[in-house]
Structure 1
Amino acid sequence: MLYFANPLMLIALVAVLIPIIIHLVKLRRYKKVYFSNTEMLSELQSEQRNSSRLREWLVLAARVLAITLLVLAFAQPKVRKQSEQALIGGTCVSVYIDNSYSMGDEGSEGILLEQAKKKAREIAAAYPAETRFQIVTNDNGGQRRRSMTREEFLATVDEVQLSAQSMAIGDAMQKQAAFATGVSSGVHAYVISDFQRSAWDLADSRQQTADSESGCRYSLVPLGATGQGNLYIDTVWLDEPLASEGSEVRLTAVVRNTGEKRVESLPVKLYVNGEQKGLASVDVDGKSQTEARLSFTVRGVGVMNGYVELTDYPITFDDRLYFSVNVRDRQRVLALHGGTANTYIRRLFDGDSITEYAESTLASADLSQSDEIELITLTSVKSITSGVAQTLGNYVEDGGTLLIAPPADCDIESYNTLLTAVGAPQIEGYDTNTSSCTRLNTEAALFHQVFRRVEENVELPTVKGYFTLRNTAGASCEEILTMANGAVYLAAVPCGEGVVYLFTAPLETTNGDFMQQALFVPTIYNMALYSRPTPMLYYTLAEGATVEVGSAATEGQTSLAKEGEEGTTVAEIRHTGKHSYLMADGMQLEAGNYRLSNGKAEQGLSFNYSRSESQMEFCSAKELKATIKELEAKDVEVFDNSAKPMDELIRQRTGGRSLTRWFLLGALAMLAAETLLLRIPFRKRHNQAMTRE
Structure 2
Amino acid sequence: MSFLAPTLLAGAAFIALPIILHLVMRREPKKVEFPALRFVRKRQSTNQTRLRLRHWILLALRCAFILFLVLALARPVLRGSGLLGEGKAGLAAAVVIDNSPRMDYLKKNESRLDAAKETATWLLEKLPADAEVALVEPGRARRAKLGERDAAILRTERLRTTPAAAPLADAVIEAVSLLAERPDHRREVYVFTDLSRVVWNDGALNLMGEALKANEGTKLYLVDVGEKDPVNAGLGELELSADHLATGEIVTLRTDALASENLSGRPRSVEVWLAPAGGKATKRAEEQVELSDVAQPVEVPLSGLTAGVHQGYVRLSGDDPLSADNTRYFTVSVDPPPRLLLVGATVDDTNLMAEALAPSALAQTAAAQFAVEQIAVDGLDRAQLATFDAVMLLDPPALTSAEWRKLSDFVQTGGGLAVMLGRNAVGKLDEFNAPAPQLLLQGELRWVDSKATYLAPTGYGHPVLRQLADIAEATPWPAFPVFKKWAVANFDKAATTVATFADGTPAIVEGLFGSGRVLLVTTPLSDRASGDPWNLLPTNPDPWPFLALVEGMADYLVGADNRPLNYEAGRVVSLPLPRRSDLATYVLDPPTGDPLPQSLSPGQQEIVVTVTDQVGNYRVRSGGERARLDRGFSVNSAPDVGMLARAEFPTIEAALGEDRVELVASRNSLSSTIDLGSVGRELFPWLIAIVAIVLACEQWLADRFYKTD
Same fold per superposition (TM over 0.5): yes
Residues 202-235 of structure 1: per-residue CA shift (max 9 Å, x gap): 332233332328x754323233433535433323
Q: Does 1:281 align with 2:288?
A: yes
Q: List per-residue Cα deviations over 1:630-688 (Å, max 9, x = no partner).
A: 8xxx6x322331351523332134577999999989x98xx99xx9xxx9xxxxxxxxx
CA distance in structure 2 between the partners assigned to 1:415 and 1:228 by the alignment: 74
Amino acid at match of 1:101: P
Distance 1:195 1:109, change over 3 A: farther
2:589 aligned counterpart, secondary structure: strand
- Residue aligned with 2:560, SS: coil
Whole-angstrom distance in 2 between the partners of 1:384 and 1:181 = 73
Q: Deviations over 1:334-383 (max 9, x none)?
A: 3344677734146766995562747574996699988x964331222245
Instruction: Describe how 1:50-449 pairs up with structure 2 within 5 A.
Output: 67-68=66-67, 70-72=69-71, 75-76=75-76, 78=78, 81=81, 83-86=83-86, 89-106=89-106, 111-138=111-138, 140=140, 142=142, 145-180=144-179, 182-183=181-182, 185-186=184-185, 187-200=187-200, 201-212=204-215, 216-226=218-228, 228=230, 230-240=232-242, 242-257=244-259, 259=261, 262-263=264-265, 266-272=268-274, 273=276, 274-283=281-290, 285-299=292-306, 301-312=307-318, 313-337=320-344, 342-344=349-351, 345=353, 355=371, 357=373, 361=377, 374-382=389-397, 400=416, 402=418, 404-407=420-423, 409-410=425-426, 429-431=448-450
Deviates most, 609-618 or 225-234: 225-234
Pairing partner for 1:504 from 520, 523, 527: 523
Deviation at 1:616, TM superposition (A): 1.4
Q: Any conservation in 1 of the 2:243–2:564 contact (CA below 8 Å)?
A: no
Q: In 2, Cα distance between the equivalents of 1:17 and 1:555?
A: 94
Partners of 2:247 and 2:642 in 1: how far apart? 35
CA–CA separation in structure 1 for the residues paired with 2:303 and 2:358: 25
3-state DSSP of counterpart to 1:297: coil
CA contact 1:92–1:132 (8 Å) conserved in 2: yes
Q: State the distance in 1 between where 2:267 and 2:506 align.
A: 49
Residues of 1 paired with 2:565 and 2:606: CA distance?
19
Contiguous gaps of at least 5 residues in structure 2 = 29-57, 490-495
| Corresponding position of 1:54 | none
Any idea what SS the aligned residue of 2:245 has?
coil
Q: Which amino acid aligns with 1:191?
A: V
| Mapping of residues 597-612 of structure 1, within 5 Å | 597-599=621-623, 600-612=628-640
Matched, 1:528 2:587: no
- Alignment partners' CA distance in 1, 2:611 and 2:525: 48
Alignment match, 2:52: none
TM-superposition CA deviations, 1:188-215 (whole Å, max 9, x none): 32111113232231332233332328x7
Whichever residue aligns with residue 602 of structure 1, its letter is: D
Partner residue of 1:50?
Answer: none
Amino acid paired to 1:157: T
1:64 & 1:424 partners in 2: Cα distance?
A: 107
User: What is the CA–CA distance in structure 2 between the aligned matches of 1:207 and 1:505, rounded to whole Å?
Assistant: 58
CA change 1:504–1:323 in 2 (3 A) is same
Matches for 1:443-462 after TM superposition, within 5 Å: none
What is the deviation of 1:120?
0.8
Q: Does 1:569 align with 2:596?
A: yes
Amino acid across the alignment from 1:536 = P
User: CA RMSD, aligned part only?
Assistant: 5.8
Moved more, 359-368 or 174-183: 359-368
Q: Contact conserved, 2:587 with 2:595, CA < 8 A, in 1?
A: yes
Corresponding residue SS for 2:657: helix
Residue identity in the other structure for 1:402: A
**2: distance between equivalents of 1:489 and 1:278?**
54
Deviation at 1:65, TM superposition (A): 8.4
1:628 aligns with 2:656: yes
**For residues 654 and 601 of structure 1, what CA distance do their matches in structure 2 show?**
59
Deviation at 1:64, TM superposition (A): 7.5
Instruction: Describe the superposition over 1:453-472 as per-residue Cα deviations: whole angstroms up to 9, x where unpaired.
Output: 9xx9x9x998895328899x
Amino acid of the structure 1 residue aligned with 2:134 = Q
Q: Quote the offset at 1:266 in angstroms.
A: 3.7
1:259 to partner: Cα distance: 4.2
Q: Distance in 2 between matches of 1:218 and 1:27?
A: 59
Give, in whole Å, the separation in 1 of the partners of 2:595 and 2:213.
Answer: 47
> In the alignment, residue 157 of structure 2 is paired with which amino acid?
D
Q: Deviations over 1:595-627 (max 9, x none)?
A: 101223110111112223222122233322122
Taking structure 1 as reference, are residues 616 and 381 closer, same or farther at Cα in structure 2, changes over 3 Å only? same
State the one-letter code of the partner of 1:568. P
Aligned residue pairs, count = 613
Alignment partners' CA distance in 2, 1:572 and 1:90: 51
Equivalent position SS for 2:312: strand
Percent of matched pairs sharing the same residue: 16
Q: Which runs of 5+ in 1 are unaligned?
A: 32-58, 680-693
TM-score, with normalisation over the residues of structure 2? 0.68
Contact 1:136 1:145 in 2 (8 A): yes
Q: Which residue number corresponds to residue 485 of structure 2?
A: 467
Deviations 1:21-80 (A, max 9, x none): 9979x9999x9xxxxxxxxxxxxxxxxxxxxxxxxxxx9999778734541256336475
Identify the residue that residue 41 of structure 2 maps to in structure 1: none
Deviation track 1:112-133 (CA, whole Å, cap 9, x = no partner) reads: 2233123212322332223233
Q: Alignment partner of 2:244: what SS?
A: coil
Describe the shift of the 1:537–1:148 C-alpha distance in structure 2 as closer, same or farther (beyond 3 A): same
Query: 1:335 corresponds to which letter in structure 2?
Result: L
- Which residue number in structure 2 is paired with residue 584 of structure 1? 611
What's the CA shift string for 1:413-446, capped at 9, x where partnerless?
Answer: 958999999899999634398x99999x999987
The amino acid across from 2:646 in the alignment is F
Q: CA deviation at 1:102?
A: 0.8
Aligned to 1:648, the other structure's residue is in SS state: helix
**Contact (CA 8 Å) 1:277, 1:296: kept in 2 or not?**
no
Cα shift at 1:275: 2.4
What is the TM-score of this pair, normalised by structure 1? Answer: 0.69
Give the Cα–Cα distance (whole angstroms) in 2 for the partners of residues 462 and 16 of structure 1.
Answer: 105
Q: CA deviation at 1:97?
A: 1.2
Which residue of 662, 668, 690 corresponds with 1:644?
A: 668
In the TM superposition, residue 533 of structure 1 has moved relative to its aligned partner by 3.6
Residue identity matched to 1:211: A
Q: CA deviation at 1:95?
A: 0.8
How far apart, CA to CA, are the structure 2 residues paired with 1:438 and 1:179? 51
Shift of 1:183: 4.3
Question: Retained in 2: the 8 A contact 1:10–1:71?
Answer: no
Moved more, 75-84 or 164-173: 75-84
Say if 1:373 and 1:400, in contact at 8 Å, map to a contact too.
no
